[in-house]
Homo-oligomer: A and B are copies of this chain.
Amino acid sequence: MTIKVAVAGASGYAGGEILRLLLDHPRRRSGDLEIGALTAGANAGERVTSLHPNLLPLADRLLEETTPETLAGHDVVFLGLPHGQSAVIADALPPTTLVIDCGADFRLEDASAWTAYYGGDHAGTWPYGLPEIPGNRDVLRDAARIAVPGCYPTVSSLTLLPAVAAGIVEPRVTVVAVSGASGAGRSPKVDLLAAEVIGSARAYGVGGTHRHTPEISQVLSAAARTPVSVSFTPVLVPMARGILATCSAATTASVDEVRAVYEKAYADEPFVHVLPEGQLPTTGSVVGSNAVQIAVSVDDRAGTLVAVGAVDNLTKGTGGGAVQSMNLALGWDEIEGLSTVGVAP
């Protein structure tokens, strides 16, 4: 049987990244996977490669309109749509279709948090596509609907999870995460112009207002079995891809204890690597890969755990995470089509 895959919102960065990974997926090369409808909003009718000139094998493909009709008849549908648009599409697809939403609509469990941060009504909650959360992998294997985590929550959660779950830090964390510009999406805005971003760093969503804040808190609180307060500040820096999250929390543990906790937590994870002592993660080393690189340290003077994690926001942080979840839900090897080898330098 050939799995037929559609991508809705194929004109954006999330859609483009999913297509990049699907094109080189061994199941496509072997004929088990076929790329079906590619849809968009305002860009419908355009050539795929006029928007994604890197996707040369799709040079003869055009974008269709995003409608239930164009997306019908597929086994897997990836959604890379603006917030609030996924529910309508998903409801129109059969419950047996594997729908993987890269948007935020179905990530949060708390409807009031949704309303506070996104406005409007909460659409619901789908299985959360972060297989590295203990117990979650089995949930995803049975899922027909999956909410891909946000890019910042992916790296922030994974960088803090072992410490929070083990109770070796106070349930009050500070995350400052620098991100490349692709995380802000592809809509043309003056403050995302190259001339504005190059040569400059700027924080945004300061003071806990970024929408990924409640998502990080949700994951960490579940792991801690107690509410975890999260102070989250994103910083835009002049690179295209990558997030480096510096995560701090008060601790009395030694660095050896911390390291032991992390190494145990991630010993069997194919994509999460706890770096050896003396090595620190760089976003450059995970570009295009699904790897998460984490370093742990303890500042004894300040009584603070400082853990630093790096991901590619578009790969593990979006499209790679989505493909990882697809692999699981289809019963394939979780790592197929995904690499831990980044394109560096």
Contacts and interface: CB of A to CB of B under 8 A. Distances in A.
12 contacts: A16-B344, A54-B284, A56-B291, A174-B304, A176-B248, A180-B198, A188-B188, A194-B240, A200-B345, A201-B284, A208-B302, A208-B304
A235 interface: yes
Given A54-B289, A174-B174, 7 more contacts: A56-B340, A198-B199, A206-B246, A206-B295, A206-B297, A233-B248, A241-B345
Contacts of A286: 54
A27 to B, nearest CB: 13
Given A55-B341, A231-B306, A285-B200, A195 B176 contact: no
A146 interface: no
Most B CB contacts (10 A, CB to CB) among A59, A233, A293 go to A233
Interface of A: 13, 16, 20, 23-24, 26, 49-50, 52-57, 59, 172, 174, 176, 178, 180-182, 184, 186, 188-190, 192-204, 206-208, 213, 229-231, 233, 235, 237-242, 244, 246, 248, 255, 273, 279-289, 291, 293, 295, 297-304, 306, 308, 310, 339-345
Given A201-B244, A304-B208, A299 B231 contact: yes
Contact of A300 (B174, B208, B238): B208
B195 A181 contact: yes
Most B CB contacts (10 A, CB to CB) among A182, A188, A198 go to A198
B207 A180 contact: no
A306 B234 CA distance: 12
Nearest to A295: B206
A229 B285 contact: no
A24 B200 CA distance: 22
Given A53-B293, A57-B340, A283 B193 contact: no
A18 to B, nearest CB: 12
